Every structure is written in C-alpha cells, then in structure tokens.
Chains A and B, each alone.
Chain A
Amino acid sequence: MDLQLIMAAGIAVGTILLFAAVGEILAERAGVINLGVEGMMLIGAVVGYATAVSTGNAWLGVAGAMLAGGLLSLLHAIVTITLRADQVVSGLALTFLGTGLARVLGEGLSKAGAISLLPRFSVPLLSDIPVLGPIAFTEQSILVYVGYLLVPATWYWINRTRPGLHLRSVGEEPAAADALGVSVYATRYRYVFIGGMLSGLAGATITLAVQPGWFGALTVNGRGWIAVGLVIFAQWSPFRAAAGAYLFGAVVQLTLAMQLPPTILGLANPFFQYHANTFFLEMLPYALVLVALVVGSRDAMRKRIGAPAALGIPYVRGERGR
C-alpha cells in the first residue's frame, strides 16, 4: 500500500464531495435546504458524459452538466420558494426525479467507449514540496485545482463581500433583509441555482475526471447524500467542508486499498483471506459519516452555532415572525 497514492486519489475523490457540499452550503446559507443533491449530481454526471461523448469536448460536458444541475434545482426553487411547499419533501422528489431521469437519459451510454477527459497536470514548484506536493499537486485533474480555489473564494464571498452579507441576512433574518431592500426571493433563487450548478459540476467531476464512465445510479452511489451530511458536519463552513470531503475521500480509497495485500504489517489480512469481510470495509465510510454527524451536531449544540436561523422556512412578506 502506497499511502501517498492513496491520499492523492482521496483528494481527487473528495473533490466530488467538495463541489456538492459547497453548493449545498450556499443554498442553505440562503435558507433553502435542497435534499436533491443526489439527483442533481446524477443529472450532471449523465449530461456531462453524454455531451462529451457526442461532441468530443469534455469542457462542453462540464458546461452542460452545470446547466442541467442548475435547471433541475430551479424546479426545487419554484416549488419551495414561490409555492412554499415543504423543502424536505421537494428535495426528496428532486432526488427521485433526477435519478430516474438520469437513468432514462443514460440508456445505452455505458457502452460509449473511451472519451477525452479533462486535462491532468502537475503544478510547477508546488509539486516539489515534500509530502504535500506529490499528494496534492502532482498529476491531478484540473477540477481538483478548481476545488482548491473554490473553497477560499466561497468563504471570502460569504463572509467578506456585500452580496455575501445579503446572502447571510436572507438566511438568518429574511424579514430584516427584505426591509433593507434585499430581494429575499431573488437571492434564494440565485443561490439554489448556483448550488444546483455545483452539484452538476460534482457529477461531471465523476464522469469526466475522477471515475470516468456511466454506470447508472451507481455512478454517484449515494455520494450526494454524503455531501448533504458533510454540510452539517462542516457547520456551513466551506473550509470544514473541504477538510471533511478530502478526509472522506482518503478513507474510501484506504478501504479499497486494504482489500488487496495478502498481509498488512506482517499479519494475515482478514479482507484478503475471506472476501465477505470486505463488506465491513464498505460500511466504514457510511459509519464515518454517522460519527461525523454526531460530532458536528454536538459541537453545534455546545457552541450554539449551527444552521442558518431561517433554514427550511418559506418567506412570506408581511407575515409576522419570519
């Protein structure tokens, strides 16, 4: 087992979760929970892949994936923001719809053969840093580097800019924001759409960069839900979300690598000796999310920080309270 390779692959896999989690953070900071991440990622994955197959251009695939994810999220926006339906149920419906639609659109796509993927490269100078260089800056997909830039940029946008202030105010005190002339509805629509685009990008990251190919619903395989869980663990902070995403990616890669060698540290490898034991390795990432949720939820309760105050509550102008 080469730990360096495992970590490098973990960062690539974590980038998928990173995009989806940052998108969900933006939507939730505006006060809208979108549980449709899984469906939007699948739509992004299939549209991105299909576009790249038919045009031969992976970048067009990325654009198509983001547009498709954004368009699907608008359904959620209309139903929850304008029609004030329950955000939880609408998000579940979006996942059903996205999953089914993606499987319909992806019919026959798994036999598409090799396609041109997004470029990979090493960053000069940075890749020479000991330990970190070979893990984070060597032969990674360009989307991994986009992820590095997106996290601080999103943090800066939310916490240090005027539109970011509006975003936070809409999620915490929509009535006050409205009184100050910030359009609550438009702001929520905008960030739900951006969240959808990032979920679409997360899907395209799978099919066009990290794990190319179309395998039906297994392409995303529940990672949209893991991203939603990460947001809670991250307490709506992009940096914590990134740390969680990369850590999760590394654990997943580690569980895969542990199935291969006949011995680990001189001991007989139980996962090699008896294949059925590997199913316990498969449980590990999900159990890790549960532990992360417990830690995140307890932390949030202890520090009295947590979800945006208006999260999940439809805004109605002129109604008392929120």
Chain B
Amino acid sequence: MTTLRGGVPFSLRLEPRLEVSRWLSPALTAGALVVALVISGLILGMVGADPIRVYLHIVGSSLGSVGAISDTLVKSTPLILTGLACALAFRMRLWNIGAEGQLLLGAWAASAVVLVPLVPVGTPGIIVLAMMLVAGFLGGAAWGLIPGILRAKFGVNEIIATLMLNSIAFAWIQYWVFGPWTEGGFQMSEQFPTEAWLPRLSDLADAIPALRGLTVHGGFLIALAAAVVVWLVVERSAWGYEIRLIGDSPRAAKYAGIRIARNILLVFAVSGGLAGIAGMAEVAGVVHRLQDNFSPGYGYTAIIVAYLAKFNPLRVVPVAILFGALILAGREIQPSGVPGMIQGIILFCLIASEVFLRFRVLIVHRQPVAAVAGVEE
C-alpha cells in the first residue's frame, strides 16, 4: 500500500485540547470569515470580477443608508425565523434541511386564511393576522412532522426526506398559484386585502416623516420575540435540557429515560412551525400575495446561519442580519452565483476552523527512520 504521506517530509498531528480559552472560539469564527472572504476574492479575481468592488457594493447597498438598513432587516426576518428552525433541530443533531419547504407550506397556509377565505370579509386586521400567524405555524409544523414521523417510526434519513419534501412543497405552491388561486393566468394570487398586511414602519410616515419608505414590517418583531422564546426554551427549560442531552449524547439520554422518538416529533414540529412563520411573514409583510419564487432559498441559507451562530438562538439574530445583507446586495451582483459561492466558502472555512478549537495542531518533522517505516506499510 502506498500512503498519501509518502512524499511529504512532515505530518500533522492533532492533539485534543484539554481547555479552551474564552476568546478562541469568536477569534476563530472571525478568522474563518476573513479567510473565506479572501478565498472568495481570489476566485472572483480569477473569473474576471473586481473583488474589492463586489465587497464594497455589498456593504454599500446593505448598510449605506437608513433605507438600505431597513431593507436588510426585511431580508433578515425570514432568515432569523428559519435560522431558529435549523438551530433548534441541529441542537438535537436532527438535520432538518427542510426549512425551505416548511416556509413555503407556512406561506401557503397563511395565504389560505385570506384566499379561501377562512375569515369573513371585513374581519379586523389584528384577528386576520393572528389567524395567519397560527395557520403559518401549523402549516410549517405539519410539513415538518412528515420527516419527523418517517425518522422516528421508520428510521428514514431526515436529510434526504426533508430535501424531497422541499421539492414537493415547491410544486405544491406552483399548483395553487398557477391553478386555483391564479390571478388572470399569472403565477401569483390576487393581492391580499390590507387587513392581512403586517404593519410597516412607513405606515407611521404621516406622523414621523423620517420613516417614509422604510419597509421593515412587524415580522421582524415576531422574529426577535421568537429568538428570545426559543433561547428560553432551549437553555432554560426542562424540555430544552432533554433536547441538548439528546444532541450531546443520545446514549446517555436513552439511559436517562428520555423518550427520543417523542422528542424527534416535537422538535420537527416546532422547527417546521418556526419556518412556517417565516413564510407567513413574507406573504403578509413583503409580497402581500402568494406567488412562486418569493423565497431566494432562505431555508437553505438558514443552515449556514444556524451553524455560524453555533446553534445559539440569540446569536442567530446578528448572523441572520449579516446574511440578509449578503442576499440583499447579492441580487445585483453578477455573476449571479457569487453570493451562493461565498456562503459555501464561509461554511467550509468555519467547519475547517473548528479543528483548532478541538485540537492543537502540531507539525511533526519526520525522521528518516519513520520514512522507511512508512514505505514498509
């Protein structure tokens, strides 16, 4: 057998770290981000783009003015909610990759409240919106329960199951916007009545002119509240303790008498419900109708958001805002694959950087004797 180490005069040795200093984790995360941006810049340079201009453009069009910041918060709203959905599931090491589909089903269920309609015309806005919120949560939760049941009862891999359900959800939305709910044959429903619109900051512009044109809507507050609630549940409740124990050591959890199958179902339902609220906030706060392609893949970016936040619900908020900025600015960047590529490189650098958190990496120079031993292998 030849080995890969054959021609290299040194090898890497990983020694487990016994103690981790406090600043190491944030420093590594920051370092990984910088490395990721440098690598992305090099690739951008190779394909003929100017990386500095791309990055300046991202900063300028997402943070350059009050209006831009407001738009960034709009984009970050669904990312916070889907990021929470992923963080909750990932904390239990349940790989729910289906936040995108759960978001779509939440949007569909919330739209049904207005479009079927489930409430009589003229119902006050606060009741309509509350019903849409509940419907959005239930729609996402139902869609999340499917992979939960498949995993808990049949041992089906939840990654593949949730991905397949994402594709099915997309076709489901298309059926409704092309079919029963179409407006004159276009792939969108009619516009919701204004009772079903989440209030925006610009609604107050008559009283405070400075708020004119600001599109931040009530969904952002819902998202912030959800972050606090999920944090309290995960970090401060008995149920949260069960989730964390299953995530850290499924065997210990089993011996402690924790019902794992039941927790799989619950976590998948709540995770899906959070993503469903993201869908509700998008249709009620941004597009004000159901249409296809209203999500540029929030549910997928949420995976990176959750990971970068280290599954901590409170940290999901700033990370989601960062990625909201990237998505907002990314709409105008050519080639169009750049934001996705940068996201992938960031995630890669992050997981690669974690090795330094868990191990001390030592470079061992190999002795000639060792090299001979290597050949004998």
A residues within 8 Å of B by Cβ? 35, 39, 75, 78-79, 82-86, 88-90, 92-107, 166, 181-183, 185-186, 189, 216, 222, 225-226, 228-229, 232, 274-277, 279-280, 282-283, 286-287, 289-290, 293-294, 297-298, 300-301, 316
Q: Which of B221-259 contact A (CB under 8 A)?
A: none
A96 near B304 with CB under 8 A, answer yes
Contact of B155 with A by CB under 8 A: yes
Interface of B is mostly: helix
A293 touches B175 (CB 8 A): no
A147 to B224, CA, bound (A): 52
Pairs across A and B, CB under 8 Å, 8 listed: A101-B43, A103-B341, A106-B337, A183-B4, A274-B179, A276-B174, A279-B178, A293-B154
The interface centre, meaning the residue of A99, A166, A226, A298 with most chain B CB atoms within 10 A of its CB, is A99
What residues of A have a CB within 8 angstroms of the CB of B304 in the complex? 96
**Are B338 and A283 in contact, with the CB atoms below 8 A?**
no
Determine the chain B residues whose CB is within 8 A of the CB of A102 once the complex forms: 337
Q: Are A276 and B175 in contact (CB under 8 A)?
A: yes
User: In the complex, A316→B14 CA distance in Å?
Assistant: 9
**Whole-angstrom distance from the CB of B246 to the nearest CB of chain A?**
16
Q: A186-B1, A279-B171, A280-B175 are in contact. Are A107 and B352 (CB under 8 A)?
A: no
Total interface residues on B, CB under 8 Å, equals: 57
In the complex, A283 Cα to B173 Cα: how many Å? 11
Question: Is A96 in contact with B97, judged by CB distance below 8 angstroms?
Answer: no
B5, B165, B171, B174: most-surrounded residue (chain A CB, <10 A): B171
**Residues on A with beta carbons closer than 8 Å to the beta carbon of B168:** 283, 286-287
**Are B340 and A96 in contact, with the CB atoms below 8 A?**
yes
CB-nearest residue of chain A to B185: A275
| B164 and A287 contacting across the interface, CB-CB below 8 Å | yes
Interface segment among B66-74, B265-273, B313-321, B343-351: the answer is: B343-351
Asked if A100 meets B97 with Cβ closer than 8 Å, knowing A186-B2, A293-B157, A294-B150, the reply is: no
| Cβ–Cβ contact B172 & A283, under 8 A | yes
Q: Which residues of chain B in 136-165 are interfacial with respect to chain A, using CB atoms and an 8 Å cutoff?
A: 150, 154-157, 159-161, 163-165
CA distance A88 to B179 in the complex (A): 38
Query: Would you give the shortest CB distance from B247 to chain A, in whole angstroms?
Result: 12
A219 to chain B, nearest CB (A): 12
B49 to chain A: closest residue by CB: A104
CA gap between A166 and B1 in the complex, in Å: 10
The distance in angstroms between the C-alpha atoms of A217 and B340, with both chains bound, is: 11
User: A277 to chain B: which residues have CB within 8 Å?
Assistant: 175, 179
Query: Chain B: residues with CB nearer than 8 A to chain A?
Result: 1-5, 12, 14, 43, 47, 95, 97, 150, 154-157, 159-161, 163-165, 167-168, 171-172, 174-175, 178-180, 182, 300, 303-304, 307, 334-345, 347-348, 351-352, 354-355, 358-359, 377
Nearest chain A CB to B204 CB, angstrom units: 39
Q: Please give me the residue from chain B that is nearest to A298 by CB atom.
A: B154
Q: Could you count the A-B residue pairs with CB atoms below 8 Å apart for me: how many are there?
A: 171
A294 CB to closest chain B CB (Å) equals 5
> When chains A and B are docked, how far (Å) is the Cα of A88 from the Cα of B94?
11
Residues of B within 8 A of A183 (CB): 1, 3-4, 377
Q: A181-B1, A298-B154 are in contact. Are A84 and B355 (CB under 8 A)?
A: yes
Q: With a CB–CB cut-off of 8 A, which chain A residues contact B377?
A: 181, 183
Q: Check B344 against A100 for contact (C-beta < 8 Å).
A: yes
Q: How far is the CB of A159 from chain B (nearest CB, A)?
A: 20
Pairs of residues from A and B, 7 with the lowest C-beta to C-beta distance, nearest first:
A103-B337, A100-B341, A276-B179, A97-B344, A96-B344, A100-B340, A107-B335
Q: Decide if B1 touches A290 in the complex (CB within 8 Å).
A: no
In contact, B172 and A279 (Cβ under 8 angstroms): yes
Given contacts A96-B347, A277-B179, A290-B156, 17 further A-B contacts (CB under 8 A): A79-B351, A85-B355, A93-B344, A95-B344, A96-B344, A100-B338, A100-B340, A103-B340, A104-B47, A166-B1, A182-B1, A186-B4, A225-B164, A229-B160, A276-B180, A283-B168, A300-B155
CB–CB A283/B351 < 8 A: no
Residues of A within 8 A of B154 (CB): 293-294, 297-298
Give complex CA distance A291, B104 in Å.
22
Known: A86-B351, A104-B43. A286 touches B340 (CB 8 A): no
Question: Are A232's CB and B157's CB within 8 A?
Answer: yes
Query: Please, how many angstroms separate the alpha-carbon atoms of A105 and B337 in the complex?
Result: 9
Structural contact, A97 and B348, CB atoms closer than 8 A: yes
Residues of B within 8 A of A216 (CB): 336-337
Q: In the complex, what distance in Å separates the CA atom of A95 from the CA atom of B317?
A: 24
A95 to B347, CA, bound (A): 11
Whether B150 and A88, one on each chain, are in contact in the complex, defined by CB atoms closer than 8 angstroms, is no
B179 near A85 with CB under 8 A, answer no
Most buried by A among B159, B171, B344: B344
Contacts of A96 in B (CB 8 A): 300, 304, 340-341, 343-344, 347
Q: How far is the CB of A64 from chain B (nearest CB, A)?
A: 16
Q: Which residues of A contact B347 (CB under 8 A)?
A: 89, 92-93, 96-97
Closest to B2 in A: A186
Chain B residues with Cβ below 8 Å from A289 are 160, 164
A293–B340 touching, CB < 8 Å: no
Across-interface contacts of A82 in B (CB, < 8 A): 12
* CB–CB B150/A293 < 8 A: yes
Task: Please give, as numbers and ranges, the residues of chain A lying within 8 Å of B180 by CB-CB distance.
Answer: 276
Chain A neighbourhood of B160, CB < 8 A: 225, 228-229, 232, 289, 293
B148, chain A: closest CB distance, angstroms: 13
Residue in contact with B3 in the complex, picked from A86, A98, A185, CB distance below 8 Å: A185
Q: Which of B167, B343, B359 is packed against the most chain A CB atoms within 10 Å? A: B167
